[in-house]
Amino acid sequence: MLAKEIMTTEIISCCTDTSVKEICKMMESTGVGSILVIDNNTLKGIITDRDIVIRGIASDKDINTLKSSDVMTTKVITATPTDDIDHVIDLMSDYQIKRIPIVDNDKIKGIISLGDMSQTYILEDEAGEVLNDITEKARH
């Protein structure tokens, strides 16, 4: 199975100068835990709800003045639409991440989350294994 067969193509994104407050509102209204940061159709980073807590709220910075560029992860692990899902699973496990943007020629095409994998009957066990790997590695 290929990444393009299970990726979500409806991307929730923002720019590098979007306020963190607005990003929080976007997450709440769309029910997602991550937002891709895209400028000029190019992936610049990813912001998760955890990034906002750790790099924003817990840093004692004024949340009202923070921008996406202040809290985003810039070293984003990505896959391509034609990558085998086993490769995507390995990336998630190796890097302890729950979401992987799918990029083709530096352009964002979609995103795969553990939830996307768990909704694919064949991948339900693999999603559970990745989540287990992530939580086990986080404890050590």
CA distance 90 to 94: 6
Q: Which residues lie across from 33 on neighbouring strands? A: none
Question: What are the sequence ranges of the domains in the chain?
Answer: 3-139
Query: For the domain 3-139, what is the CATH superfamily, name and number?
Result: CBS-domain (3.10.580.10)
| pLDDT value at residue 133 | 56
Ramachandran area for residue 107 (φ above 0: left; ψ -120 to 50: alpha; else beta) = beta
Mean pLDDT: which of 36-40, 58-62, 131-135 is highest? Answer: 36-40
Instruction: Give pLDDT tens digits for 53-71.
Output: 999 888 878 888 999 999 9
| pLDDT value at residue 140 | 47
CA-nearest of 73, 75, 76, 62 to 19 is 62
Apex 43 CA angle, 94 and 48, nearest 5: 60
